[in-house]
Amino acid sequence: MVFDDRSPIYLQIAEQIKTDIVTGALAEDEQVMSTNQYAAFYRINPATAAKGFAQLVDEGVLYKRRGIGMFVAPNARDLLRTGRRDSFFADVVDPMIREAKAIGIPLKDILQHIRSYGDA
């Protein structure tokens, strides 16, 4: 992953790990890289990596096992999916509708397109 310098890197780290959990790339109870491994792999400051991981521990997404490392919390995927579902319409659907209105696509065309996917 490539970090951009327009927002704090520790937040970008936290977001990336959350996405990996939501998509299943990281399984629940799976061990994640240590902050030092993560820092070396992505060539970033170890304190920055540690801050990103600490944020995820605070949010209950990761948990620590003393002397072993950090793991994905057992309920992390559900927790994150619920959070993203809550913001789905505001973050994804509303901008799409604004764009459709701006360029003159009627909402019924969008509905028709969505129906062509069947009931997923």
Partner 1 sequence: MTTALTVRTEELSVRFAGAPALDRLDLRLAPGKIHGLLGRNGSGKSTLAATLAGFRRPDEGRVLIEGGDLGTAQEPYENAVVTSRVCLIRESGDLVEAVPVKQAISLAAALRPYWDADVAGALLDRFEIPLNKKIQKLSRGKKSALGVVLGLAARAPLTIFDESYLGMDVPSRNLFYDALLADYTEVPRTILLSTHLVSEVSALLEEVVILDNGRLVTQSPVDALRGRGASIVGPAAAVDEFTAGFAVLAEERLGGTKSATILGDLDPALLGQATAAGLEVGPVGLQDLFVHLTAPTGARS
Figure out which of the listed residues 14, 17, 21, 48 binds partner 1, where binding follows CB under 8 A: 48
- Residue 43 in the binding site for partner 1 (CB under 8 A): yes
CB atoms within 10 A of CB 24: 9
- Residue 47 in the binding site for partner 1 (CB under 8 A): yes
- Residue 39 in the binding site for partner 1 (CB under 8 A): yes
Task: Give residues with Cβ within 8 angstroms of 73, minimum separation 6.
Answer: 28, 60, 61, 62, 63, 79
> Helices 94-103 and 107-115: crossing angle, nearest 10°?
130
Figure out which of the listed residues 3, 15, 22, 59 binds partner 1, where binding follows CB under 8 A: 3
Residues that bind partner 1 (CB under 8 A): 3-10, 36, 39-40, 42-48, 51
